[in-house]
Amino acid sequence: MSVVAIEHLQLALSGNQVLREVSFSLEEGECRALVGESGSGKSLTAMCLLGLAPPNAVLNAEQFSVMGQPLPAQGHRDWRGWRGRRIAMIFQNPMTALSPTRTIGAQLSECFRLHRNMDRRQARAESAALLERLAIPRAEQRLSQYPFEFSGGMLQRVMIALAVACRPKLLIADEPTTALDVTVQAEVLALLRELQHEQGTSLLFISHDLGVVANIADTVSVMYAGETVESASVASLLRHPAHPYSEALQAAMPRLHSREITVAIPGSPPDMRGTIQGCAFAPRCKHRMAICEDSPPLLISPRGAGVRCWRWHPDYPERWRLQHD
Amino acid sequence: MMIKFVLHRLLWGAITVWFIATATFFAMHAVPGDPLIQDKAMSPVVRAQLEARYGLDKPLSQQYFTFIGNMINGDFGISFTQENRRVNDIIREHFPVSATLGIAAIAIALVGGVLAGSIAAHYRGQWPDKLVMFMVVAAISVPGFVIAGLAQLIIVKLNSAAESTVLPVAGWGGVNHVWVPALVLGLGTLAYLSRLSRAAMLEVLSSDYILAARARGISGVSLFFRYQLRNALLPVVTELGPAVAAITTGGFVVELIFAIPGLGRYFVQAVQQLDYTVIMGTTVFYGAFLVVIVVLVDISYGLIDPRIRLSAGRS
């Protein structure tokens, strides 16, 4: 049973179709990265998984379930047992994601008390143990400190502690290292991976950084203009990107020991306020064909993965596909 | 650290009070006339005797130093208009009345303002928000004495409709005498604080930590009190000092209209009659009172926001 199964997820915000076609699944213990540029709908997809889409959102999906259970409607009461307990999230900027006027201990032990019915003392002991497990020195004393007394890296550890406190089945990490120093990034990533293996959690890792993704994820879904355009294993996506957008992303990745100049993707993402006809990436695509402008591409599965591009259609000239295999 | 901070602030407060006392003293003496001018003509002999008794025959500088000396000893002398009544007694008897009214008004303004602001912020753009904002504009625009009159009119109508005394129109005595004047007195501040807390709450509601808290499953009452209210309260507390000043000065008018025997009435009367000792006594007392309130408000910042560390150098 997949931990997350999303099929044909659509979401409109005041009439604008911002998520047009999101489909992916996440198996137990798997780490799937959600990759794409800002505005592609990565974070919004994550918010939907927590029932926290904006109140004016209209959501539609063929399948939208976690651990085999369909998720409640956005903003509904029934989310109570899900958020923080079965699904948890790590936010991008740890500096702003903690209430500045409450101690770390108060915010952390609150999770234990709320979701695991512990009493005050138990929750505090558990909090200290967890911080210690996450390599925060002097955990006991740090519990009575406020967020402003922590460094960014330490705070992100606290955020991770808050998220894993109740051993959720699904952990969503929304660019958890973007706001951190490069030296701290690696530590936080290592910690996340370690915890994921230890707890058997499934991790949905949102990022725009393919380098980070290569480091942590097993599988990748590439998002473009509210659509998952390609899903594949990390290795195959990095070596043989099937979708022209994935290809362009991969080419835009800076490389060490290479004299190749990174290539920026020409053009800009489509305006989500209008309806998009055909393939959303067509205007920026160098392999554009007549059909791309008329009909949206179907999901085609070469090699068991999924790609939404006419070039992978069985009727497309054989020589192209060969070149990519 | 804390004690040092408080002492530092109190020292500056003492200097402020001295400045208020000095400025008031000389301004008061610069006003034409003196407390001995009355309706009836007074013979020069009687007048000279009275002047000698109150020390008004001495040069102004000497009167000033006598006053400061007495003030340091906590003695404000005897009232000119109310014979043989010591100013200290007037303050002791009537300040508790003003304080009761003021505390009630502050409490109503604080609780009502924060509540109204929070409701408006949570229903931003919807009818509760529009209703609150309309009331706020009305309460800020209409002067206190008009609202006081209207409130009395409503009470009169209410009482005659009920054919019994539901609420007293004026006077002082029981708990029921407090509600209406306190509400009238606190209304402007309430309106101001609702605007302030609405803005603060809107900022809190759109912050990452609220989203993160909701993502952890925190909802309802604990989300409101522990996360939203606590963070939205800080700008409101910052305004409490000025709010106390506004309510203290507003109290003079409300006390007159509702015939409440508070200190404000004596203050106004004393100025009208140039009752030197009462003017000085009440002014210095109110000045010192406000200084203490401001120090208390400063201390409360640190309790609400841990990022604010009290230090002696801050003012």
Nearest residue of B to residue A144 by CA position? B306
A83 and B207: CB-CB below 8 Å? Answer: no
CB-CB neighbors (< 8 A) of A148 in chain B: 306-307
Verify whether the Cβ–Cβ distance B208 to A97 is below 8 Å. Answer: yes
pLDDT of residue A256: 72
HSE-CB of A193 using CA atoms within 13 angstroms = 14
Instruction: Compute the average pLDDT of residues B17-21.
Output: 93
* Burial bucket for residue A108 (CB in 10 Å: 0-12, 13-18, 19+): buried
Alpha carbon distance B217, A77 (integer Å): 11
Looking at per-residue pLDDT, the higher value among A304 and A91 belongs to A91
B294 — pLDDT class (breaks 50, 70, 90):
confident
What is the per-residue pLDDT across A242-269, written as a single tens digit (0 to 9) for each?
Answer: 888 998 888 887 777 767 777 788 888 8
Chain B CB contacts of A50 below 8 Å: 214-215
Q: Which of the four pLDDT bands, split at 50, 70 and 90, describes residue B311?
A: low
Residues of B in contact with A80 (CB under 8 A): 217, 219
Find, in chain B, the residue whose alpha carbon is nearest to that of A148.
B307
For B153, residues 6+ apart whose C-beta sits below 8 A from its C-beta are: none
Of A89, A103, A115, the CB nearest to B215: A89
pLDDT at position A325 is: 47
pLDDT in tens, A100-144: 989 999 999 999 999 988 999 999 999 999 999 888 999 999 999
State both tokens at B2: 């804390």
Using DSSP's 3-state secondary structure scheme, residue A321 falls into helix
Does position A303 have pLDDT exceeding 60, yes or no? no
Q: 3-class DSSP state for residue A202?
A: strand
User: What is the per-residue pLDDT for B313?
Assistant: 45
Phi, psi at A206, each rounded to 5°: -95, 130
B174 versus A234: the higher-pLDDT residue is A234
Residues B245-292 have pLDDT tens digits of: 888 878 888 998 899 988 888 888 888 888 888 999 999 998 998 888
**Could you give the domains of chain B?**
88-276 (1.10.3720.10)
Which residue has 């990748």 as its token pair?
A: A220
Residues of A near B (Cβ–Cβ under 8 Å) read 50, 52, 79-80, 82-85, 88-89, 91, 93, 96-103, 106, 110-111, 114-115, 146, 148, 159, 162-163
Count of CB atoms situated within 10 Å of the CB of B78? 17
8 Å CB contact of A85 and B305: no
CA-to-CA distance for A179 and A112, rounded, in angstroms?
27
pLDDT digit string (tens) for B113-142? 999 999 999 999 999 999 999 999 999 899
As a whole number of angstroms, the distance between CA A176 and CA A188 comes to 8
By Cβ distance, the residue of B212, B217, B304 closest to A101 is B304
Nearest-CB residue to A97 (from B209, B222, B231): B209
- How far apart CA A101 and CA B305 sit, in angstroms, is 6
What count of other Cβ atoms lies within 10 Å of the Cβ of residue B40? 4
In terms of residues, how long is chain A?
325
Distance CA B65, CA B20 (A): 15
Give the mutation candidate from B126, B204, B209, B237 for the A interface (greatest A CB count, under 10 A). Answer: B209
Nearest CA in chain A to B307: A148
Nearest CA in chain A to B303: A101
Segment A87-102 mean pLDDT: 92
Q: Residue A48 CB: number of other CB atoms within 10 A? A: 22
Residue B315 has pLDDT above 50, yes or no: no
State how far the Cα of A158 lies from the Cα of B164, in Å rounded to an integer. 63
Rounded Cα distance, A152 and A172, in Å: 19
Burial A216-229 (b: 16+ CB within 10 A, else e): bbbbbbbbbbbbbb
ipTM of the complex model = 0.88
The two tokens of residue B170 are: 């004026």
Polymer length in residues for chain B: 315
Q: How far apart are CA A134 and CA A161, in angstroms?
A: 7
Residue A284 tokens, joined: 């920026």
Reply yes or no on whether the pLDDT at B176 is more than 70.
yes
Query: A61-70, B47-56, B84-93, B282-291: which has the minimum mean pLDDT?
Result: B47-56
Average pLDDT, chain B: 87
**Euclidean distance between CA atoms B255 and B102, whole angstroms:** 11
> CA A7, CA A206: separation in Å to the nearest integer?
18
A110 with B218: Cβ contact below 8 A: yes
Closest CA to A7 of A85, A81, A70, A57: A70
Nearest CA to B272 out of B75, B11, B77, B35 is that of B35
Per CB-CB distance under 8 Å, the chain B contacts of A99 are 209, 213, 226-227, 230-231
DSSP letter for A283, please: G
Are B290 and B248 within 8 A, CB to CB?
A: yes
- Cβ distance of B208 and A115 shorter than 8 Å: no
The pLDDT confidence band at residue A73, using thresholds 50, 70 and 90, is confident
Q: Is the dihedral of CA B100, B104, B107, B110 positive or negative?
A: negative
3-state secondary structure (DSSP) of residue A122: helix
Q: Which residues of B touch A111 (CB under 8 A)?
A: 216-217
In tens, the pLDDT along A141-185 reads 999 999 999 998 899 999 999 999 888 999 999 999 888 888 888
- Would the CB atoms of B217 and A82 count as touching at under 8 Å? yes
pLDDT of residue B314: 42
DSSP structure string for A25-90: EE-TT-EEEEE--TTSSHHHHHHHHTT-S-TTEEEE-SEEEETTEEPPPTT-GGGGGTBTTTEEEE
Q: How far is CA A80 from the centre of its chain?
A: 22
